[in-house]
Structure formats: structure tokens, C-alpha cells
Structure 1
Amino acid sequence: MTYSIADLQYLMARLRDPDTGCPWDLKQTFSSVVPYTLEEVYELVDAIEQGDQEQIRQELGDVLFQVIFYSQLAAESEQFSFSDVVSDIVAKLLRRHPHVFPSGELNSQRSLDAPADEAIKARWEEIKQQEREQKAQHSAMDDVPRALPALTRATKLQKRAAQQGFDWLELKQVIGAFRAEIDELEEAIAMADSRAVADEMGDVLFSAVNVARHLNLDAEAVTRGACDKFERRFRFVEQRCQESGVFAGKGELNSQMELFWNEAKAAGL
């Protein structure tokens, strides 16, 4: 049997029925659902990176359910409905794509002479700036969510600053700034100033994100890739330690473990 959005909305309403609903669902609030939303989004990202189409389909359903859940909570307090959510996003996308919908209506079509990519990007940013002004957001930084993963937020903040002309022009300048931050970190470590060390360590990571941005790399994605690579190699080290009877406990890096690590690198893990 195939179900529809209307069926999902009905199911959600039943889960929240005060008399016959699910006790767990009835306890939930906007704030309490947030951790589950984040978890579902990360599971979707993981399925996409794995290229597992069946899992992507399942995880998309889980993410959609989060939207339905929040909409139900809002409807119960008469704040807004799922239909309002849909209407708002359609209106926003129409407004932000005048190169596709020139009159701002769904049935309008652009001419075959498409504007250049740079012109589209510039118009997109102009429209977003107008939206910020309507929301009384006067800084380019105003609508960058604080809850974003740190690397993603750093990238967005840097891009916003770059749009205002606050950016290095050459990659060598970016790398030079990165090296300067490492020097400052080493100075703080030498001074044994824990607060300064934490501050400078943050600057090093922020500057590393800037290097990635100038290389047209997604800092979040490449860091996840580095995590995956480390995990593969360390699992290899663990396996070789077990096979060789090498004790892999706490303490300094065992020379044999380092040898196994180099084996993993040589094997392309």
C-alpha cells in the first residue's frame, strides 16, 4: 500500500492525540525534538556519502517526519501549519529564482537566453540581502546559525565576510596567515597559558577552514574524510597488533604500532 503526505499528517496527529496517542510523542516539545532532528540529518548525510540509495530513501522519510512533527506541535498551539511551511518555502524559492520564474509565478518561464552564472549568483545574494533587511538583520553575519557544526559555520562566516570584500586575494596569503596562527599557538604553549592556548587553537582551526575554502574544498567534508581514513588505518593497526601479539595499551606510541600504521598508509588505507 502506498501512503501520502496527508496520511503522514494524520498519523502524526494520532500520535499526539491527548487521549489515545503515544505517551512519548505527547511529552515532546520543539526543544526536545531537536537532538533527534540533528541525528536524522546526520544519518541522511551518511547514507548519501555511502551511496546507499535504499538507505537514503529511508532517511529522507525520517527527516520529513521531523518537519511533520514540528508542524504538528505548531498547529496545536495555533502558530502555523504544515501548509504554511510549504507555502512559505515555495514563495521564497520563487522569489530567489527570478532567472527561472521571471514573473514570480509558478507557471512563468524564462527565455532560452539564460543569464550567466555570476549574474545569477549576484542576484541571489542581492535578494537574500533584501530579506535580511526586511528581518532587520543589518550585518552580513546575522542569519548564520550558531547551531551549525563549527567547520560549516566557519566557512559560512568567511564567505559572508568575503562578499563584503574582507578576504585574502591569493592562496599564498591564506597559507601564510595559517602558518602565523600556528606560530602564535606555539608561543602560547611555551608560555603555558591555557586560556591563550585554547584561543590560539581555535584560530588555527578557523584559519585551516579558510585554507580549505580558498582551495574550493568543503572543510566539513574533508574533515569527515580524514576521520574515516584515520579509523580505517587504526582498525588495521589494531588487527595487526592482535595478530602479532603486540600490546596496544595506554602510554607512548609503540614503535611496532607506528610500523603497522605505516603499513596501512603504504597499503593505501
Structure 2
Amino acid sequence: MQSPPGDAKLQIVTVSDALTQGVQLSVPVLITQIDSAATLQTLKAALQARFPDEYPVTLMGDLGDTDVQSAQLTLEQLDDQMRVAYPINVYVPVQVSELAIALQQFTGIVAQLRDPEDGCPWDLAQTPQSLTPYILEEAYEAVDAINQGDRDAIAEELGDLLLQVVLQAQLASEEQDFTLKDVTQGIAEKMMRRHPHVFGDTKAASIEEVRSNWEDIKAAEKQQDSEEPEVFSQKLQQYTRSLPPLMAGAKLSEKAAAAGLEWQDIEGVWAKFYEELAEFQESLLSTDVEHQTSELGDLLFTLINIARWCQLDSVAALRSTNIKLVDRIKSIEANTSKPLIEHTLDELEALWQQAKHELAQPLEPAADSLSMPANSRSPESESL
């Protein structure tokens, strides 16, 4: 039998308590009073939800053979047909994986950075709020690395993003709010709840069914957490608070349409676009910047609706255009020895068309000319 580490405490629980209250997985566990094959099978299923099938366990008790009081098995073998005399016990050791060791080392490093006496002055000065820009920055950089397909960069950027998660958990643990364990255990339990077709008896044969189940379970969870049912506007408000504007707009458009706030056909969307375009143009005749901004927002949101009707990703489209613009400017710089500011508009137009030709793609979006209004701007996009 595998003995617990010298400084580890052995947790002893009855099988009834283990099944109803759970067990602490950070210490070795001895589960007692297993009184039937059915109870053993139930325990096995509960342990398989937390451990892989090959996880080592020890069966203890009268195993039916002379002088044999224990047998080391894998979790998958736990309820194999053996001649045992109930009640029996099951010992579940602590197995520390390389991943657990690496994560423990990393969390220790972050904790040291926050040590009041020997820590880093910069890390000690941070608050949850001061770190939020870095979460966004690292998420953007991780997305960029993924889009570039650079495996080494992806691993590095995901590490930088993980640092922000661990830092937030470290700050919270110092205030005794929550710990990294709470974070990981919470998301693990959520994934199991939200995937009953994997961890339960629910059937889901298609992605649409999975999405529908997910939304139903999510709504039920939120209703449990609140004394009053969440109204539709509250759900929409979450997107405006938590997502970048362009992504929030796409979500709002999708959810509003699903709730019935939708045009009958795309012609209605185009009519709305031209209406908003005219109103924006009219607003530019005044000096009311607040009104102009409002009309511009209406126009942009209508474009998001058009993208949804065309089954296009407006966030990906804008990201692609941003990248294309930088690539074309890079090509222009390669074709001239002068700074761009020293060229005339006609020269820049020629260089732009040359760059466009050199970087031509099978499908070209509509930005055919550099001659555009001087005050035109591009909104920003993204998320995790």
C-alpha cells in the first residue's frame, strides 16, 4: 500500500460521507464502511469524476484469500469481480503530477513577489484594478500569437495571461476573499455542470443542442443565485459592461434578434443603414459632438447587424482590415526612401495602389482608395 507523505494528514471518512459531502483531495483519504458491491460501484463512479481511470487506489479488508488484506489496483479495476467480504475500505493516495508541481512552483514565485519584506516594489504596489489593463493586453497578445500560428509565442503569451490570473488570485487570497484553488475548483465544477452530456445522462447530438443546454443551465444557475429572476435587459447589460464595444455590439445584436427584435429580411436592415447614414451626415452639419457621436454609434451598430445577417464576424473583419492596413503601409515604406509625410497625396495614392497590387488577395474588401475623409476613424475590437 502507498503510504501518505510524512507531513501529510490522513483523512478518514465513511463511504456515506464521501458520497454526500465529498472529500478533501489534497490529502490521502481512507474511505471506510463500504458494505456492498453496489456501494463500491457508486464510489468508483464518484472517484472517476475527479481522477483518471489509471489512478492508483488500494482495496483493504478481507479479500477472500488467506493472508491477503490489501490489493493495489487502478481506479478502473476497483469494482472488478473479486472474492471480498464486506465491509471493505478503499485508500486513495495523493499523486502529485508534474503539472501540479510546476503550478505550485509558479504560485510560490508570485507569492514571493508579493512578500511585504522581500517582494518586488512594483508587484507590491499593484491592486486588482491596476492590473486589469494587463489582463486585456495579454489576452490580445495571446490571440495575436494564435492567429499567427507561432507555437512558441502561443505558449509564452498563455503563460503571461496565466500570470495575470495567478496575480489576481494572490491579491484576493491576501484579503481572504478567495484563492487560486477556489478559482480552479469553481471552473471545474462549472464545466461539469454545463456539460451534462459528458458528465451526466443528458444527450446532445449536435452543437446546437449543446448551446441550448448550456444557455438553459446558465439561466438556471443565475436564477438560483438571485432572489429575483434575471430580466432580459440585465442579461444584455452584462455584455456592455464586460466586453469590448464591437464584440458587445455583436452579442447585443444576436441576443436582441433571438428575442424577436429583428427585421423580416435583409432589405429592412439595408434601409435602416441608409437611414442612419443620412442622420449621421446631417449631424455633421451641426457642432454638437455628443449628437454626432450618438449618430455614429447608431450607424456602426447597423453595420454590425448587416454582418450578422450575412453570417460574417464583424470583430474578425475589422481585425483583418487593421492587419491589412499595416501590411500595406509596410509595403509602401519598402517602396520609398522618404517618410510618408513628405509625399504628396497623389504620390501616396500611387504607392497605395502599388502596395494593394503586391499584397492582392483572392477576395478584396472595399477600401479601394487612400483618398478618404481626414477625420475617419476605425473602432477597436476583441475578447477572451
Whether the aligned pair in 1 keeps the contact of 2:328 and 2:359 (CA below 8 Å) is no
1:8 matched to 2:98? no
Alignment of 1:103-252 (within 5 A): 114-136=204-226, 137-139=230-232, 140-242=235-337, 248-249=340-341
Contact 1:71 1:82 in 2 (8 A): yes
Letter in 2 for 1:48: I
**Alignment counterpart, residue 58 of structure 1, candidates 144, 147, 156:** 156
Of stretches 51-60 and 113-122 in structure 1, the one that deviates more from structure 2 is: 113-122
Deviation at 1:192, TM superposition (A): 4.7
Match of 1:254 in 2: 345
Gaps of at least 5 residues in structure 1 are: 104-109
The residue identity in structure 1 corresponding to 2:140 is: Y
Larger radius of gyration: 2
Amino acid at match of 2:347: Q
User: Which of these residues, 105, 116, 121, is aligned with residue 23 of structure 1?
Assistant: 121
Pair 1:266-2:357 in alignment = yes
Q: Structure 2 regions of 5+ residues with no counterpart?
A: 1-97, 361-384
- Quick one: which of 153, 168, 185 aligns to 1:87? 185
Contact 1:132 1:138 survives alignment (8 Å): no
**Deviation for aligned residue 1:37:** 1.3
Cα contact 1:43–1:59 (8 A) shared by 2: yes
Task: Give the Cα–Cα distance (whole angstroms) in 1 for the partners of residues 225 and 237 of structure 2.
Answer: 10
Q: Aligned in 2, Cα 1:168/1:94: closer, same or farther, shift over 3 Å? A: farther
Q: CA shift at 1:130, angstroms?
A: 2.0
Aligned partner letter, 1:237: I
After TM superposition, the runs of 4+ consecutive aligned structure 1 residues lying more than 6 A away are none
Query: In the superposition, relative to structure 1, how do residues 142 and 92 fare at CA in structure 2: closer, same or farther (>3 Å)?
Result: farther
Instruction: Quote the Cα distance in structure 2 between the aligned partners of 1:254 and 1:98.
Output: 61
Deviation of the 1:177 alpha carbon: 1.9
Identity of aligned residues (%): 37
- Output the aligned Cα RMSD: 2.3
Aligned-pair CA distance for 1:207: 1.4
Structure 1 residue 191: deviation in Å? 4.2
Deviations 1:195-239 (A, max 9, x none): 322111111111112222222222122101101111122233334
Contact 1:152 1:220 in 2 (8 A): yes
Aligned mates of 1:250, 1:134 — CA distance in 2:
64
TM (norm. structure 2) is 0.62
Q: Distance in 2 between matches of 1:85 and 1:190?
A: 53
Q: Distance in 2 between matches of 1:237 and 1:172?
A: 39
Q: What do the CA deviations read for 1:106-139 (whole angstroms, capped 9, x no partner)? A: xxxx6xx743333222222212222333344323
Query: Which sits farther off after the overlay, 205-214 or 70-79?
Result: 205-214
Aligned-partner Cα distance in 1 for 2:282–2:269: 20
Matching residue of 1:107: none
Alpha-carbon distance, 1:10 to partner:
1.1
More helix by share: 1
The letter of the residue matching 1:124 is: W
The SS at the match of 2:165 is helix
Letter in 1 for 2:266: L
**1:146 match: secondary structure:** helix
Q: Please state whether the residue corresponding to 2:119 is helix, strand or coil.
A: coil
Quick one: distance in 1 between partners of 2:204 and 2:242?
Answer: 36
CA distance in 2, matches of 1:6, 1:29: 22
CA distance in 1, matches of 2:204, 2:301: 37
Q: What is the alpha-carbon distance in structure 2 between the residues aligned to residue 11 and residue 175 of structure 1?
A: 56
Q: Deviations over 1:159-181 (max 9, x none)?
A: 22122122234333323322221
Contact 1:241–1:257 (Cα < 8 Å) also in 2 = no
Larger % of strand: which?
2
Q: Within 2, Cα distance between the matches of 1:132 and 1:182?
A: 39
Q: Give the letter for the 1:117 counterpart.
A: I
User: 2:265 is matched by which residue type in structure 1?
Assistant: E
